Amino acid sequence: MQNKIQRLLKEVETLAAKSVQEAEEIRVQWLGKKGVVTVLFDEFKNLSAAEKRVLGQALNALKTAAQEKIAALREVTEQAPGSVSGDCTPPGIPHPFGARHPIAMVRNEIIGIFKRSGYTLAEGPEIEDDWHVFSALNFPPEHPARDMQDTFFIRQGDNAVLLRTHTSSVQVRKMETQQPPVRVICPGRVFRNEAISARAHCIFHQVEGLYIDENVSFADLKQAILYFAQELFGADTKIRLRPSYFPFTEPSAEVDVSCNICGGKGCNICKGTGWLEIMGCGMVDPNVLEANHIDSGKYTGFAFGMGIERIAMLKWQVRDLRLYFENDVRFLQQFATAL
């Protein structure tokens, strides 16, 4: 075996390759599982201890020489013009960065405006009971306004369980646990059994506000809404309040802002009026205060509620709110630069 090793050492020195492929074939021939050096090591295991002491160093020298020669061949062939080397696996397709959803951006902007006015954030459950959604808000059992809400009931009867139709339920929970002054903003998802169209959906998002303290007036409410509208839509934004009805506020009003999609000329979003309704509001009904153990003789307050989708339509000039729920990446990527 000693002579064989010496002969192989001289043969290693003469190895040559013209391409990366040939260098790889030489590696397999000499160092592979059935290669020349591997076979010699298998034979070495069967030698006597005395023979191992004599041949061990020579065999290791052969292996080292083969490894160094093959590494040199690979380096030369890889650098040759037109050679292909390394990992030829095609690179992965990079995933584009996402963007915050336009509803989330508008929601955060609304919350930020009211936080600057001293409001705190309050949240509550989406699955509610009859008391927090209706009864505590001056809806008697036979009141037709219950039908106006188009409610999704999970269980009906004396202990009704339902998907909340407005985040006013969060206001009730706040009044139950905190005496005035109360100044909270309540964002959240709500559900109503409505036909889905460009202007309506069975799932949408609301932000409601509540302010209760001594000597709170309708003038305070109007100023709060005007400040909000001009902060959100710009200093030139106008508002108008139209008398309306809600069981939990008296007097009540609907709030419109000037439509910046058509510039007041009329479009399908504002129905040709130049105005877009964004919220309802009013002074908290004394019955609501008393139902929540707040002295209506001492305290007054106002409440308001708005749909985030409707405001986002006006702010982003999106003409179909169904786009907000389809998760079309082409649509969402348009808002990546709006962060």
CA–CA distance, 226 with 219 (Å, rounded to integer): 11
Please identify which residue in the block is written with the tokens 């009859």.
130
Coil, helix or strand at residue 106: helix
pLDDT at position 147 is: 65
pLDDT of residue 305: 94
Residue 248 structure tokens: 């939990």
Tell me, what's the pLDDT at 301? Answer: 96
Reported pTM? 0.67
Residue 201: per-residue pLDDT: 83
Q: What is the pLDDT of residue 269?
A: 66
Tell me the backbone φ, ψ of residue 249, rounded to 5 degrees: -135, 150
Report residue 4 as tokens. 């064989």
What pLDDT does residue 94 have? 78
Alpha carbon of 8 to those of 62, 80, 171: distances in Å?
7, 27, 90
Looking at residue 114, its pLDDT comes to 95
- Residue 280 pLDDT: 94
Angle between helices 102-115 and 218-233 (to 10 degrees): 130
Q: What is the pLDDT of residue 27?
A: 84
pLDDT tens track, the chain, 339 positions: 677 878 888 888 888 888 888 888 888 888 888 888 888 878 877 778 877 777 778 878 878 888 888 888 888 877 766 555 556 677 788 776 777 889 999 999 999 999 999 999 999 999 999 899 999 998 887 776 666 668 888 887 778 898 998 999 999 999 999 999 999 999 999 998 888 887 778 898 999 999 999 999 999 999 999 999 999 888 888 899 999 999 899 999 999 988 776 766 777 767 788 888 889 999 999 999 999 999 999 999 999 999 898 888 877 878 788 888 888 888 888 887 765
Q: What is the pLDDT of residue 6?
A: 81
Backbone angles phi, psi at 184, to 5 degrees: -130, 155
How far, in Å, CA of 276 to CA of 273, rounded? 8
Please report how the helices 36-44 and 20-31 are oriented relative to each other, as an axis angle in degrees rounded to 10.
Answer: 10
